[in-house]
Structures are given as structure tokens and as C-alpha cells.
Structure 1
């Protein structure tokens, strides 16, 4: 591969902000919930590069083929790999990060099977190089114009992300696109060059809180202190489901937590996750799996009597999409009151409409 810009190249990153930033000619685009990917193409040679210099080329043969068919002959395009689920319970196409994560598999036969059953789309949002020209020093509006010209003829499963400079439209996107599985907004200042590895863009994500039951914990890898708290929510039938973890603590706080959890470690055989109710589709914590790279996920049960308020950004099905944040203990709450019904569910929205850049509706979709 002999491009003017060759891998590895670290993608430019975004720093989190609490509110949608404003500024003259600020550009906004949806924040896609997938794998960040810079596609390098030099004729028939294609590489899919992730953050940290990791190559994902072997896992997405269908994306490689689409890059050969639809991207310029010699280019480096920054974007996102996503998987769209079209057979969900509500019939609404939406992004599915779990299906995307399953695409990373060591077996070649499994990779081929998943490429056919859950193919990935590529959403382009920046052009870093084309032919013999490197565009990193160009301001973002110029790179965007070059991207639109270079990819004017692409068709699904290759897309160019929609953008807007209207902050009211951006706010509307933030409110409704979550229902299509998107993650928030990205904001780019008008004069922004592309600086690999630096956090010069802005990202705004949804922030919420929920009261959850603490029903177990995992040990920290460094020694006998708490590594993470295992969180649960009750469904309408009274079944407690594992919905995620809370794990960001100082070492001193991890030791304190072990003392605080001590009175609840005498569990016996009555723990709601002792065996798992498969007929009700109960989610319980797991052990070692191929998805965790051999990481030991064995856990210690706790009597499900502690209630914790946590911060979270989004749900992935019936669990927290990312690690939850510790807010405060809630001794005033009855654990049985910690159900799914307290969660804010985004209004359903069709991800295909987002990818097509359809006009934003002025009323809530149903």
C-alpha cells in the first residue's frame, strides 16, 4: 500500500461536553454507535484500521469488498462501522452494537457466516487523503466538501453521514435519533484541521439516572478489593435481571466498598441469580467467555437488599450500554421498587431515515 497517508493513523477524537456547543459555522452530525474505522484503499488493497493501530480487515470482508466497489481508487476515509438490525420486535430498523461486537471472532468460518448474516455498513464522515493529496491541514468544511464530491455516487451499505450547521436542527437530532440507536451528537468547529489522536471535536451524549439493586460484585485484578458492582433491575414478573456494572472507583474507595458490602455477603442458596430462570429469559452474570478475551468474570453474590442510584447514558436492549456511574446509595428505596418501568425509553425512529438524511419531523415519531 503506497498512499500519501498510510496506516497506522490514530483517528481524531472528541471530548465530552454537557451541552450542545454553539459557534459560528459549527457543524453537527449524529454520533454513530459502532466501531471507529479509517478505511485505506490503494487499488485492490484495502485496510480497515481501528484506534490504537488495530486492524479489523479480516473481520469485515463485506466492507472490504464495498470499499473496492464504491470508494475512490486511492483514499483514506474516516468513518464508523455499524450493524443495522432489521428484525427487531417493533419492526423498526436500528443500530445494534451487540451484533456488531459479535463480528470480532477468531474463526474464519464464523467470520464468513457473520459477514452474510449480520453485514456491516460503513458511514463516512471525513476525508483524510485522496489520490496523492493529504487533507489533514485543511479546515473541516473543505474536507467535508471534498468528501461529498468523492463519495457522491455511493449507495448503501456505504453512506455519508448527514450534517447541519443549524443548532435547532442539531437539538432535534439529539432528541429523536437515539430512538434509531444513535449515541448523541458530534460538533466540529469550522476551522478544525484533522489532528490524529487529539480530542478537538466535541461530543454530547444522553445522561440519565436509575435506582438499581446491587446483587453481587467482582474482585479487582490487583487484590482483595472490589473491582465492580453487579447491578440488577426487576421486570414485571418479579424476576431480577443483571443489567450492567459500576466500576470506576479509586483504590481507597474499592477497599471501603468491601467493608460496606460485608454484611450482605452471607447469601446462602436463595440468591436470585444462583441458577437463572431460562424460561423467563433471565439475564445473569457470566464467567469467562470468548468475547472477554479470557478475562475472568466470576463474581461474588450479595443479598439483593442494597439500592444504588447510578448514572447511565443509554440502554442496549434490556441492559446498560456502557458502564454505569456511582451516584449515591439509596437506603430509602425498597429494592423491589427498582424496575425497568423507571427507565426513560427513547421514541422509536428509523435509522434508514437518518442515513438518507431525510428531513427532521416536526412532531414526535410514533
Structure 2
């Protein structure tokens, strides 16, 4: 069979000495779908865990240790790193080790949700040690720099994609990929594959605060929705300091702190705390209370006790550990753990409606 000669292909060059030119670029068809791109949120209100007394039914829950520290969102952006507290305050200068570890994760842009902690000699998160590293409450951010580490447990944004509408189990897998092998100031908060009732008992045996469970198919909701739950080994909550009992000692401290919680929009007296203080705590707290803008002659809460009390503006928030509530809504066996900074937007306890 006779082969016909092939037609000569078009030359790459228009002219012998002309430069190579590509095909002209056509305008994009407006009907063609574009790849989605989500701008990074400036701030996200955190999802909160609901306190429950027993684990929820079902197998679609991830369980991890409940850390006792400061809730943080770490924003890794093109312009740098921002570390925001739960209340939206920029505490990047207060956590230099976490900030440095976050910069090392770049240039990927992301928002990591986690808890800043300092561990004691037994590997347990200790809120008192964290407070000591940050200095006394009332100091300006940047005055103290903490060597705290971040236990990360969620990923809210990654390289142009807002992940809040993505199910938790997928967000968790992405976070594990991002932090694969990280053992420095940012680490993964490990999920533990165990029956939550057994896990809670183990947490209690090791002196941990409790455990947290997250529903696998849940999206990220900035509220206390029940998609995240917490079970506590030790009861602890935040209460407002409304006064202090005058001390007969010459040390210039106080005998105990008087505490209040919210009942609706009003404050209710819940008792006092006189243990858990170190000598330094007492002196620092007395100085802070004496610096408040004004003191009150009348209590800011209904009170019929006979103690000699100096009533103060309900501004300072104390973390209190306790065993139980009495029938008249007073704390039993209360112990002081530390102060919560107002910018941290700590939840002051509110009685159920």
C-alpha cells in the first residue's frame, strides 16, 4: 500500500528568527465554577463542652484528657502568628514558645484550637503553675512570658478553607496530619481508644481533672451545644470574689474569700474559701483587692452572716475546686486554685434555670 506523505506540521516559529509564542489565553467562562476560597476569620468564638454526669450513648465519640489551662486559638497567617484567648485578647507575647512553634508550621495558613498548659512532675496539667508563669493577675500582657505548651485538639481553618462545617472526625484527621511527629511547644492532644467510664476512672486514679468527648459527625459550633461533653473527676468552677474576711493576724492578708455565682442576671452568695492559698497568693490577692476602684459598705449579694467582711467590686474571678454543693447552695470543701484573668473571659458559674 502506498503511503501518502504526511502534511507538514505548523512550524513553532512564525518566522525563522521570531521568539516562540504560546497560544493566546482566552477569558474564563463566567459559567465555569471557581475553586472555593474562604477568607481567614479574624476571630472565632470557641466551641464549649457541656458538663455531664455520665458518658453519652453511642460509639461515635472521640475521648481525650481534659486539660487544665488557658483555651487558645492560634492563628498562623501570612503576616505572622496571633495567639488569641477565649475572650479575643492577643496574648502572643505571653506564650513565646507556642508562637515560635506555630511559625515553624508555616507557610501553611491555619487556625488551631487548643489548651495552653504547664505540666507538673507527674505529667498533669497544673493551673497554678501556669498562673505563676504568667505572673499575678492584673499585669499587662507581655510583662510575663510563659513556657507553656499547647495541646491542640481541633483545626478550624486550613489553607483557604474554613473547616467549621466539616465533621469533627475529618477535622481531627487533618490536624493529625498537620502535627504529625510534633513534640515541641505544640502537640496533638491524643485521642484514647477506651470505654469512657473506664477512662474516667483511670483519670481519677491519676489525679487528672477529667475527660472530654467529641461527637464524630458534629460540626464546629461556637456554643455549649452538647456536641462536646466533659466529665470531671474533681469539681471546679470559676466564681466572682465579692469580699474578704478580715484577718486578725498582722500579716496584712485575709482570713477567707467570699464568693458569688450568677442566678440569672443577679449574683448569689455561694460561700467562702479559706484553703489552697500559698503565703504569696494571700499577699498578692490582698494588694489586688485593695487596688480595686472602689469598695462597698453594703454587700453586692444577699448576705446574713456575722463575719467582719470587706466587700469589694465583683471583678476578680477565682478558680475554685470543691467536693459538692450543700442543700442551701453553698460550696463544700472549697479550695483556691488560682485567679482567672478577665481577658480570658472565664465562665463564672451560673445556677441552672
Give the TM-score of the pair, scaled to structure 2. 0.59
The residue aligned with 1:192 is: 218
For residues 1-33 of structure 1, give each alpha carbon's deviation from its aligned partner in whole angstroms, at most 9, with x where no partner exists: x98323211111111111122213211111111
The residue aligned with 2:260 is: 247
The residue aligned with 2:64 is: 29
Most deviating of 74-83 and 241-250: 241-250
For residues 54-91 of structure 1, give each alpha carbon's deviation from its aligned partner in whole angstroms, at most 9, with x where no partner exists: 222121122111111246621111111111234xxxxx
5+ unaligned residues in a row in structure 2: which ranges? 1-36, 246-253, 300-304, 309-317, 336-353
The residue aligned with 2:167 is: 139
Is contact 1:246–1:325 with CA below 8 Å preserved after alignment? no
Distance 1:162 1:24, change over 3 A: same
Is contact 2:235–2:323 with CA below 8 Å preserved after alignment? no
Per-residue deviation, 1:302: 5.3
Per-residue deviation, 1:196: 2.4
The residue aligned with 2:130 is: 100
Q: Secondary structure at the match of 1:94?
A: coil
1:168-317 mapped onto 2 (5 Å cutoff): 168=195, 170-178=196-204, 182-199=208-225, 200-206=227-233, 227=242, 245-248=258-261, 286-289=285-288, 294=292
Distance 1:298 1:67, change over 3 A: farther
Q: Distance in 2 between matches of 1:146 and 1:165?
A: 19
Per-residue deviation, 1:44: 5.6
The structure that is helix-richer by fraction is: 1
The residue aligned with 1:315 is: none
Q: Distance in 2 between matches of 1:94 and 1:205?
A: 15
The residue aligned with 2:76 is: 41
Q: Secondary structure at the match of 1:159?
A: strand
Q: Is the radius of gyration larger for structure 1 or structure 2? A: 2
The residue aligned with 1:361 is: none
Per-residue deviation, 1:128: 1.0
Most deviating of 92-101 and 121-130: 92-101
For residues 156-192 of structure 1, give each alpha carbon's deviation from its aligned partner in whole angstroms, at most 9, with x where no partner exists: 22210111353x2x33332233566642121111210
Aligned length: 264
Runs of 4+ aligned residues of structure 1 deviating over 4 Å after TM superposition are 178-181, 227-230, 241-246, 281-286, 295-304, 322-326
Which residue of 128, 143, 146 maps to 2:156? 128
Is contact 1:243–1:320 with CA below 8 Å preserved after alignment? no
Per-residue deviation, 1:36: 0.8
In the alignment, structure 1 residue 160 sits paired with structure 2 residue 188: yes
The residue aligned with 1:79 is: 114
Is contact 2:64–2:191 with CA below 8 Å preserved after alignment? yes
Over the residues paired in the alignment, what is the CA RMSD in angstroms?
A: 4.6
5+ unaligned residues in a row in structure 1: which ranges? 87-91, 210-217, 221-226, 231-240, 259-271, 305-318, 330-337, 344-366
In the alignment, structure 1 residue 19 sits paired with structure 2 residue 64: no
